[in-house]
Chains A and B, each alone.
Chain A
């Protein structure tokens, strides 16, 4: 048996002291496998739940997993776990691209960032060795400019992550970019900014080996055949992604009356066909771009002409952005949408929560509840959309209000929070709870707020199961949450599981690491992480009251395709009760002793005590 893929070393970076040291992964961390599992346990062990997310006491843990950097397809991602300044919960956030593989090539399983630097810093990680560099030259610069600077300064071969002005200014939905991909959700960019880290460059020259090379190669071949077959199918979602990107499904969602439009008032958008994946592929030069080792290549690079006549390019927009900066803002112009996406990229902001916050602001603007000098706050208005985005990134004027996230913006302004489409202050992903009841429950109960990554979206939107039914959704949501948490220890792309049977994962883990693990135990790792997160969130002050949908979800959808579709308040409460019960939690959503003992984490109940 060869050396396994995990290197069993994380690098701890004490930013206050300007020191870094390797940290051998202790035995009790190893059953968490890697990725999200490592990050969650380290944060739960070392950061008290009440910690101010933007204080030096918060930590930011960046990890990879057992399959990172190997030949296994669709495993390019790396995972950040930290306490979120947006939601005040524990956060896990992901980027694709090449950063994860490079971290593995650098001979480490990840980084733990602790404390805060006194001056703005760039970190260079070369084969596990850390050096500290001044970030003075790139302060105020965009994510792309910061990336270019690091490649010039540290060599073209480095892979990078960086924040833009939003992260510097602690915008609650600031994200961290890595070569046009992003740790998008939850405001990890503001946490990095609070630590005065503007960017990190990684270079690795090392090798990746697996414990059982022959078994592993066999699994890779098998999995590649499955993925290639999926890509060749006309109506396979992954196949559609491989041809025109994640925006391929917009027509389907629109047709089912589930495309959130005009701040979720309507369920379909007439302009949808003008901004979906096919529209971009049709109107603009398009080239498919893959993440490390991925045969699906869903990232679409487009060249386009900006409104001012200059030529430009964008890798995107992704589907979720077509909603958040498109249909939800009544914006049917693919160029305005691309420019809006570029602004989010330049400032380093989550297109989802930022767009959702804008949608609320535009509705409030039209009703007269919000005003901003120089901007006519109206849906579909390019100047309002692009202008507001820049103001959020600069925290200027009304942007300072919106930069707090949708719920806090509404509360601070003293206007209608029930129209702010958020859970735990995180903006909705592109899906409508009124139309997709299981997805609604998944949004409400997500540990990181309004998260689409652990929702039964595929099954509901394709009609595999009745999207409007309440029955059976609680069990389905729990099952998906646990399974996705488990695959995020590896760290798999979310789309990998669309095609790959869950039985493949423990086999991959064993062949990569030599660690024997059953499917049951693999899924239990996911459930254990879910419960750890829940305990952390309870300790942070969250409760059942935070597992609720905004008021608009209990009002009927308008528009032909899904006129009248609504979430029934009583039925939602019953789903939530059933969900808690299935989780082994009490009616307030507090994990029971029996469940925690079954998961082997009874001592963590102390986290939930305030």
Chain B
């Protein structure tokens, strides 16, 4: 089964539990500006949900955009950025159709691009979404 998320913005209540859970599992602390999923409030219209769509992203342009081949798709479908190779050029950030890649910019030394890595098969955000706006598709 192709890897990705079933996303229904009609069901999203904009509670941001997905962001909190994401930062907690990735960083060990709640820190929303570093989450690998973002929710844009657009009242009264539906929210914009920014997260990597994995196999639902037809061309996966981030992979080809990377001049140093730091981004790859694993056999399971995880699209991953290798921090040891990433030069922080922002090319992937610019091409992502879902605006789901961000730069870690702390002002000290080189920056890195980061994105959702699907938590190795069981995304931490999904169980937090009580309304089913964000549902796991494929994976472990």
Contacts and interface: CB of A to CB of B under 8 A. Distances in A.
Contacts, number: 61
Contact of A71 (B10, B17, B43): B17
Contacts of B17: 71, 73, 293, 295
Interface string A199-220: 0000001111100010000000
Contacts of B14: 289-290
A293 B130 contact: no
Contact of B30 (A69, A73, A98, A294): A69
A208 B27 CA distance: 11
Given A71-B17, A292-B15, A297 B131 contact: yes
Interface in A47-99: 69-71, 73, 98
Interface string B19-42: 011011001111111000000000
A158 to B, nearest CB: 12
B20 A293 contact: yes
Contacts of A105: 31-32
A150 interface: no
B43 A288 contact: no
A340 to B, nearest CB: 19
Nearest to A302: B44
B24 A71 contact: yes
- The prevalent SS among residues of A at the interface is loop
Contacts of B126: none
Interface residues of A, number: 30
A281 interface: no
Interface residues of B, number: 22
Contact of B20 (A71, A228, A231, A287): A71
B77 to A, nearest CB: 28
A313 B30 contact: no
A485 to B, nearest CB: 26
Given A231-B130, A287-B10, A313-B43, A209 B29 contact: yes
B44 A207 contact: no
B44 A293 contact: no
B15 A295 contact: yes
A208 B30 CA distance: 5
A105 B30 CA distance: 9
A290 B13 contact: yes
B103 interface: no
A291 interface: yes
Contact of B27 (A69, A157, A207, A231): A207
B31 A208 contact: yes
Contacts of B44: 287, 301, 303, 313
B72 to A, nearest CB: 30
Contacts of A293: 15-17, 20
A155 to B, nearest CB: 12
Interface in A256-312: 287-295, 297, 301, 303
Contacts of A303: 44
A71 B16 contact: no
Interface of A: 69-71, 73, 98, 105, 157, 205-209, 213, 224, 228, 231, 287-295, 297, 301, 303, 313, 315
8 contacts: A205-B33, A207-B30, A208-B30, A289-B13, A291-B15, A293-B16, A297-B15, A297-B131
Return the 10 tightest CB-CB contacts between A and B, nearest first: A290-B15, A313-B44, A290-B13, A297-B13, A207-B29, A207-B31, A208-B30, A295-B130, A209-B29, A205-B33
